[in-house]
């Protein structure tokens, strides 16, 4: 019995608890067990692919049609998927209204065509189930399954990461995870995480309308000790540009996030400065993790200084890619009295459509929005419109990556009061910026 027949047989004979009651498809826990069994069994074909299917505007549709009709829509989508996927594929209804399918015996080129066909079938087949002014948008992230895949958790992380890449490229060709020789780099990353070899730096976020909060964005680099006897003090520095992509693709981001937050908690506890506020970036892995909110609550109890002084920051693309997890994540932050910041805000077509899912306090504008505000009047109007909408929602816009001081005046005029960039101060090891008490711009 081959892989797909064995998996299908196990699903057909599985307990009802393994099936999603709404769609009748396999549940994610059971599906993950089958993925792990494929990997550990050593019989997995190189042409097996995990496809993560996401309803990108599900919550927008839900707000129009209501929960009962949305549940019926999910049921209809499951039936469409069963008709659209190749025969013998294993389907899963994941947590938080996502679907996954295990595609067998599809080559790299063909699997892209299959994924695109599935996406189009879902979009056209549900046109009568949703309001005419809306159109279901589907995203697909792909990851190759083989005996070198560490686990089902890593495969889902890779598929979600590739979904993020596809979204950030505004609908360009889907990206399939290719086998890349990253084992050495991953070994170095894992060693740094295990040994807690981390270095923090701090870049100020300055308020042009002087307030009493001293805001810093925290940056993290991994430090790898070099143990040659001739150079016992030499260190190898792994910057985020090198390690972040393989880190997230291999589901190690949550470990890094926890390590950074523990270090930040130690700094805050030692500093004992109520005016300090640290903005800490989280990876997509933590956003979709069921364990991270539990750990975060325990961390808040262990380090009371975290709650009033911590802002957690997620990128807009990660939020869109994991939006089905966002409502629960945002509720947990609200329960813990933690503030959320969105980075790269405005890099997608309609960044305001997902804000109702969040409890955001800050929105860090995508650097492309603030490039030439001095000479480009249309761009100034766009930034002023975005900043005005954010301010009306109680979300404070931040302009970042500023290289010249003359940009501060048009930003002030556009309603942006928080700024960050090397023209003010580059990231440094000590948080010692002299925040202004009052500053005027003509």
CB atoms inside a 10 Å sphere around CB 438: 7
- Please give the backbone phi and psi of residue 144, each rounded to the nearest 5 degrees, phi first: -75, 135
| 265 Cβ neighbours under 8 A, 6+ residues apart | 299, 302, 303, 305, 306
The pLDDT of residue 128: 61
Q: How far apart are CA 119 and CA 139, in angstroms?
A: 7
The pLDDT of residue 439: 54
Residue 115, both tokens: 């994924």
Q: How far apart are CA 343 and CA 340, in angstroms?
A: 10
Q: Which of 84, 99, 89 is nearest to 54 (CA)?
A: 99
Go through the chain and tell me how many residues it has.
Answer: 442
The pLDDT of residue 172: 37
The pLDDT of residue 216: 98
Helical (H) or strand (E) element with 69: helix 58-84
The pLDDT of residue 68: 87
Sheet holding 48-55, edge to edge: 26-27, 90-94, 98-103, 48-55, 138-145
Q: How far apart are CA 394 and CA 390, in angstroms?
A: 6
Pairing of strands 310-315, 276-281: parallel
| 184 Cβ neighbours under 8 A, 6+ residues apart | none
The pLDDT of residue 9: 46
**CB crowding 294-307: b at 16 or more within 10 Å, else e:** eebeebbeebebbe
Helical (H) or strand (E) element with 48: strand 48-55
| 209 Cβ neighbours under 8 A, 6+ residues apart | 417
Compute mean pLDDT per 10 residues along the chain, 442 residues long, and list them. Answer: 54 61 89 87 70 84 84 87 87 88 76 80 72 78 80 88 72 40 82 92 93 94 66 67 89 96 94 92 95 94 89 92 88 92 87 84 91 82 94 96 92 95 94 78 52
């Amino acid at each position: 019995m081959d892989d797909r027949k064995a998996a299908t047989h196990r699903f057909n004979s599985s307990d009802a608890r393994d099936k999603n009651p709404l769609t009748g498809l396999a549940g994610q826990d059971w599906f993950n067990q089958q993925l792990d069994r494929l990997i550990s069994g050593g019989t997995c074909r190189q042409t097996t692919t995990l496809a993560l299917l996401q309803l990108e505007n599900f919550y927008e549709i839900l707000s129009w049609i209501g929960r009962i009709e949305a549940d019926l829509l999910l049921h209809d989508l499951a039936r469409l998927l069963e008709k659209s996927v190749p025969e013998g594929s294993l389907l899963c209804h994941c947590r938080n209204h996502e679907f996954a399918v295990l595609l067998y015996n599809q080559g790299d080129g063909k699997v892209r065509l299959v994924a695109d066909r599935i996406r189009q079938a879902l979009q056209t087949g549900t046109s009568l189930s949703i309001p005419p002014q809306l159109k279901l948008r589907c995203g697909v992230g792909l990851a190759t399954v083989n005996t070198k895949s560490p686990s089902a958790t890593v495969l889902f992380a890779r598929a979600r990461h590739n979904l993020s890449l596809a979204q950030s490229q505004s609908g360009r060709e889907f990206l399939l995870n290719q086998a890349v020789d990253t084992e050495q780099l991953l070994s170095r990353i894992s060693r740094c995480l295990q040994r807690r070899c981390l270095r923090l730096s701090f870049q100020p976020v300055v308020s042009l309308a002087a307030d009493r909060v001293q805001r810093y964005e925290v940056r993290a680099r991994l430090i790898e000790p070099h143990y040659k006897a001739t150079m016992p003090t030499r260190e190898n520095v792994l910057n985020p540009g090198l390690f972040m992509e393989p880190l997230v693709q291999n589901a190690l981001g949550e470990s890094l996030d926890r390590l950074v937050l523990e270090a930040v908690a130690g700094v805050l506890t030692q500093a004992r400065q109520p005016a300090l506020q640290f903005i800490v970036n989280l990876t997509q892995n933590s956003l979709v993790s069921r364990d991270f909110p539990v750990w975060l609550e325990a961390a808040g109890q262990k380090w009371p200084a975290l709650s009033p002084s911590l802002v957690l920051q997620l990128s807009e693309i990660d939020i869109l890619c994991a939006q089905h997890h966002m409502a629960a994540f945002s509720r947990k932050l609200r329960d813990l009295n933690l503030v959320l910041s969105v980075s790269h805000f405005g890099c997608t077509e309609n960044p305001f459509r997902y804000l109702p899912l969040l409890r955001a306090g800050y929105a860090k504008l995508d650097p492309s929005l603030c490039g030439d505000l001095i000479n480009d009047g249309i761009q100034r109007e766009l930034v002023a419109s975005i900043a005005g909408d954010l301010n009306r929602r109680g979300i404070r816009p931040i302009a970042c990556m500023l290289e010249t001081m003359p940009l501060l005046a048009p930003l002030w005029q556009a309603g942006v009061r928080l700024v960050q960039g090397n023209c003010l101060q580059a990231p440094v090891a000590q948080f010692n910026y002299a925040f202004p008490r009052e500053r005027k711009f003509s």
